[in-house]
Structure 1
Amino acid sequence: MKHYFIVATIALAIHPFFAVHAQTKPEETEFYTPVPAIVTPGSTNSTAPSDAIILFNGKDLNEWVSVKDNGPAKWIVKDGAVTVDKSTGNIETKRKFTNYQLHIEWQIPSNITGEGQARGNSGLFLASTGSGDAGYELQILDSYANKTYTNGQAGSIYKQTTPLVNANRKPGEWQSYDVIWTAPVFNEDGSLKSAARVTVLFNGVLIQNNFELKGPTQYIGKASYAKAHGACPIKLQAHGDKSEPISFRNIWIREL
């Protein structure tokens, strides 16, 4: 018994953790506040939960404006979906966001023509930082059986990274993106404090896993955080290719 006491004393002196652990009760590592808010899930994983903002309800574009003139968005709403009107240009949300969870569904027409980047091209700009195609783009394209550069296929962060896998459905079928967006943060002098990050599920399949963006999308040259910004709208692109325009439905967002 004497030897056991000496060994235990030495062990406690060398490893104070054992002494603390011996004194800890289960209740000391349990906490009851803060209490998480109650959110009622949708009837399916694609249905908006109770705390979501509905960005497109299948009936109107009241949550959107035209990027050209900040006037009403003029894309075509019919049968619960909105279809790109290339003549009126890009549209973006009236509201601005920082961090969020976003659900959006999109459809490439079954009669799509063209190839490469000219085959149902559009883009979901996770943060729109200016007019035209300025912002951080998650590519939308028919990539079911359509060869192009891999950091430009559907599910890519355009010109920055390829998707982990190709989870495209056939043209004519509805597809979905579920996005977790963490906005970049800038210091007071405009320098970057923390980069933007994104996680994306494409048709329920993980294709971007907390990817760190190098900056807003650049068609030519490397991306960089050249200009600081705060909360931004979300933008949908009316691409200039000659293929049939794509459609969207069931768009909702949860601010995080």
Structure 2
Amino acid sequence: MTRLVFIPSFLVLGSLLAAGPGFNGRWDITVKGEPRNRAWWLGIEGAGTPHPKGSFISAFGGALNPIEEISVHGNQLTFGFRHDGRHLVYKATLAGGRLQGIFEEDGKQKLTFTGVRAPVIRDKEDGTWKKASPVDLFNGRDMSGWKPLIPNLPLGWKVENGVLVNTPKANNLITDRKFWNFELDAEFRVGPHSNSGIGLRGRYEVQILEDYGRPPDAHSNGALYSRIVPSVNASKPAGEWQTYHIRLVGRTVTVALNGRKIIDKGEIDGLTAIAVDPNEGEPGPLILQGDHGSVEFRKLVLTPLTH
């Protein structure tokens, strides 16, 4: 004899809601087959409630995009965007505390991805860090210690008269070595309407932009791109040499532009769009962005910080 077992609807609803909160939090995402070797980042709040919300890097524009469409049904999170006539949809399930997902564009699968929870980084800017011996990342003669981010694309960089110079739409450069906590001193120059950046640990971009005289915003010269707005615009006009002094300890970043502190112990919530290394709890490389406008560097000195 077959017995029918009826499960009360409130128990079914409860089990679905119980699965939802597992998506909450910050996620570092590795993408299989991403053509630019980029990593993604996802932040979710309110999963398991009627009104989940979130933000994502990088759907389009290289910015921190507020999620436009989002739903959680049982063990599946679906979110998406409509941009330039395209429908971008991301679907993920939870398995063993990890995200397993696919990305679709206009209903066609494009990529697969996995996500892990962003780690708690316990290193704090507490005055106990000591400077080790500085590392000269650019020797003024050649590109020793650097490699192209995407090996099968043209390099687009050269050394001229002791200066590292790109041609617009060049490859991004990435260091052979990886670093954790450090100070970075850089001297750079950009032309009119130009745009570049320095990727810290291969994850967090300090923006380089020709924006003399404009009000600061999340994409200004010296911003932690799309995340931390500089307190002032300290930029020089196009064609003049400028300086950065950047200090990174754990998730805390301080930026001085042309001798003026514009970010003071800002807390980094997560990856920016330059990210190629999603493993936030580990050392990472330095990136020089060359795939936008023209930029020159004549000094890149990194000083590790140790206890």
Residue matched to 1:139: 207
1:126 is aligned to 2:178: no
- Matched ranges for 1:42-121 at <5 A: 51-69=133-151, 75-109=157-191, 112=192, 119-121=193-195
Name which of 170, 174, 180 aligns with 2:237. 170
Query: 2:245 and 2:207 mapped to 1: Cα distance?
Result: 13
Identity %: 32
Larger radius of gyration: 1
How does the TM-score come out when normalised to structure 1? 0.62
| C-alpha deviation, 1:51, in angstroms | 2.3
More strand by share: 2
1:249 is aligned to 2:298: yes
Tell me if the contact between 2:183 and 2:248 (Cα under 8 Å) persists in the aligned partners: yes
Residue 69 to residue 218, structure 1, CA distance change in 2 (3 Å): closer
Gaps of 5+ in 2: 1-128
Residue 169 to residue 252, structure 1, CA distance change in 2 (3 Å): same
After superposition, what is the alpha-carbon deviation per residue over 1:52-75, rounded to whole angstroms, capped at 9, x for unaligned? 110012111102111112999651
Tell me if the contact between 2:205 and 2:224 (Cα under 8 Å) persists in the aligned partners: yes
Residue matched to 2:289: 237
**Structure 2 counterpart SS, 1:163:** coil
| C-alpha deviation, 1:93, in angstroms | 0.9
- Matched ranges for 1:20-59 at <5 A: 51-59=133-141
Residue 125 to residue 70, structure 1, CA distance change in 2 (3 Å): farther
Name the count of aligned residue pairs: 176
After superposition, what is the alpha-carbon deviation per residue over 1:155-194, rounded to whole angstroms, capped at 9, x for unaligned? 11111121111111111110010011113xxxxxxxxxxx
Tell me if the contact between 1:139 and 1:153 (Cα under 8 Å) persists in the aligned partners: yes
Query: 1:157 and 1:253 mapped to 2: Cα distance?
Result: 18
How does the TM-score come out when normalised to structure 2? 0.52
Gaps of 5+ in 1: 1-35, 40-49, 113-118, 129-134, 184-195
Query: 2:133 and 2:155 mapped to 1: Cα distance?
Result: 25
Residue matched to 2:260: 205
* Larger RCO, structures 1/2 (Cα 8 Å, 6+ apart): 1
Query: 1:155 and 1:211 mapped to 2: Cα distance?
Result: 12
| C-alpha deviation, 1:86, in angstroms | 3.9
Residue matched to 1:154: 221
| C-alpha deviation, 1:239, in angstroms | 3.0
**Structure 1 counterpart SS, 2:218:** helix
**Structure 2 counterpart SS, 1:152:** coil
- Matched ranges for 1:191-202 at <5 A: 196-202=251-257
**Structure 1 counterpart SS, 2:290:** coil
